[in-house]
């Protein structure tokens, strides 16, 4: 008999997922999200009047079958989380218009957003997307302005937010992408990291003061495995590459430096706010797991090249982006991690989200929060499954 305990545990886990919808009321009742293109579900595209490459197929081709403003072929981590806890996909804030219904949450994430504000980059001679006026402090400000339409008194807001899940990020990636792509030195960019982490910390503190009780805060991707970075920092000297994955070590070390400072900060914040659950989401490790053994997770054996792009070793080409005339799209996006060289495929995001929901890559685990009723999740069984 091939009935191993792993099989049994997966069966239990599947049962848990099947049972979930009937227990929605014990779960998070809303999702509020802040971040950049990894979480943008349509804000930038609306703001730019559809005047952006993601307004065209192949963006959106896999799941929605039309462009939605997501920088992917399908769903993002935020979409998978919303689905798993039985909430509607989180509506983007900007296209909300007058008929706003943000009862179950709202998404302020805007592609291109940075944690630090534009003045900082200006002062360093770094070009950011000037059309993008939705950096983290602005997103938090928009949230504050929206409060009267969500809840009318401080205590009503606190009550409402106590059962809400706050997604704070990913944010900060663009604070580094812009200077790295503009040739700023590693030494200079490294000095930005404590400031970026500080900006994220301030945003977290603000939403906690408004009543947030559960926050999920993702770290940065391993940028040394990113098709765009691999292309721009390509060298013929093999020594800079990780032998096992082909990723660029010094860039991944930079991501880990950011992540370590972020983790330290989240620990301090947790001590300051013991009644709040602040969960670190390890996007770095979630992706490294794929890059170390891609085939084990259903990805093609060379996972560093993009599904959609304008050619080159990693199918990323600065003069021919995904969607531009002359770019090509792979046959099977679900075999790829990288969608357009910078952002992930739905399959890539799904791997991260599934891991987060299973309690891998999160500390403390998201699944032990109010979302999953104790009657259904026997944590003992669950721990066996995820270990
Ligand atoms: C990048 O795109 C340009 C413009 O389409 C093209 O001329 C060039 O050959 C491409 N580079 C690679 C490596 O495919």
**Rounded-to-integer distance, Cα 53 and Cα 16, Å:** 40
Classified as helix, coil or strand, 241 is strand
pLDDT grade for 99, boundaries at 50, 70 and 90: low
List pLDDT tens digits, range 23-33: 434 479 999 99
Name the closest-CA residue to atom 13, ligand 1.
312
**Whether residue 373 has pLDDT greater than 50:** no
Which residue in 362, 333, 371, 336 sits closest to 83, CA to CA?
Answer: 371
Atom number in ligand 1 closest to CA 324: 5
Give the predicted TM-score (pTM) of the model: 0.89
Cβ 326 under 6 angstroms from ligand 1 = yes
**Whether residue 4 has pLDDT greater than 50:** no
**Cβ proximity of 309 and 315 under 8 Å:** yes
Average pLDDT over residues 277-283: 97
Cβ 320 under 6 angstroms from ligand 1 = yes
C-alpha count within 13 angstroms, C-beta hemisphere, residue 149: 17
Ligand 1 centroid to 297 CA: how many Å? 31
Cβ 234 under 6 angstroms from ligand 1 = no
Atom number in ligand 1 closest to CA 325: 5
Ligand 1 centroid to 307 CA: how many Å? 16
Average pLDDT over residues 338-356: 97
- Give residues with Cβ within 8 angstroms of 368, minimum separation 6: 359, 377, 379
**Rounded-to-integer distance, Cα 288 and Cα 225, Å:** 8
Domain topology for 5-366+378-386? Rossmann fold (3.40.50)
Which residue in 212, 328, 219 sits closest to 266, CA to CA?
Answer: 219
C-alpha count within 13 angstroms, C-beta hemisphere, residue 26: 16
**Rounded-to-integer distance, Cα 109 and Cα 298, Å:** 29
Cβ 325 under 6 angstroms from ligand 1 = no
CB atoms within 10 A of CB 146: 17
List pLDDT tens digits, range 181-222: 999 999 999 999 999 999 999 999 999 999 999 999 999 999
Atom number in ligand 1 closest to CA 326: 5
């Amino acid at each position: 008999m091939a009935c191993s305990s792993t099989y049994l545990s997966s069966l239990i886990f599947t049962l848990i997922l099947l049972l979930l919808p009937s227990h929605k009321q014990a779960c998070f009742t809303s999702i509020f999200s802040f971040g950049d293109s990894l979480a943008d579900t349509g804000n930038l595209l609306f703001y730019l009047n559809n005047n952006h490459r993601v307004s065209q197929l192949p963006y959106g081709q896999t799941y929605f079958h039309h462009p939605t403003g997501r920088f992917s072929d399908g769903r993002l981590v935020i979409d998978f989380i919303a689905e798993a806890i039985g909430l509607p996909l989180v509506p983007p804030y900007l296209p909300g218009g007058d008929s706003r219904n943000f009862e179950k949450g709202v998404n302020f994430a805007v592609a291109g957003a940075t944690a630090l504000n534009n003045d900082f980059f200006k002062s360093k001679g770094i070009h950011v997307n000037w059309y993008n006026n939705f950096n983290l402090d602005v997103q938090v400000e928009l949230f504050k302005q929206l409060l009267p339409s969500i809840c009318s008194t401080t205590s009503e807001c606190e009550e409402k937010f106590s059962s809400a899940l706050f997604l704070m990020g990913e944010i900060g990636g663009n604070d580094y992408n812009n200077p790295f792509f503009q040739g700023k030195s590693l030494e200079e960019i490294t000095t930005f990291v404590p400031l970026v982490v500080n900006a994220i910390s301030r945003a977290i503190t603000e939403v906690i003061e408004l009543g947030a009780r559960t926050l999920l805060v993702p770290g940065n991707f391993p940028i040394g495995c990113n098709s765009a970075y691999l292309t721009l920092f390509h060298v013929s000297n093999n020594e800079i590459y990780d032998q096992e994955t082909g990723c660029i070590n010094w860039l991944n070390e930079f991501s880990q430096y950011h992540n370590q400072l972020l983790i330290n900060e989240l620990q301090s914040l947790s001590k300051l706010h013991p009644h709040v659950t602040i969960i670190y989401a390890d996007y770095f490790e979630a992706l490294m797991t794929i890059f170390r053994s891609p085939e084990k997770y259903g990805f093609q054996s060379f996972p560093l090249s993009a599904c959609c792009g304008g050619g080159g070793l990693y199918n990323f080409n600065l003069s021919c982006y995904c969607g531009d005339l002359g770019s090509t799209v792979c046959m099977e996006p679900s075999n790829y991690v990288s969608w357009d060289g910078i952002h992930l495929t739905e399959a890539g995001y799904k791997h991260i989200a599934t891991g987060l929901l299973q309690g891998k890559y999160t500390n403390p685990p998201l699944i032990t929060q109010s979302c999953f009723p104790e009657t259904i999740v026997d944590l003992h069984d669950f721990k066996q499954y995820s270990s």
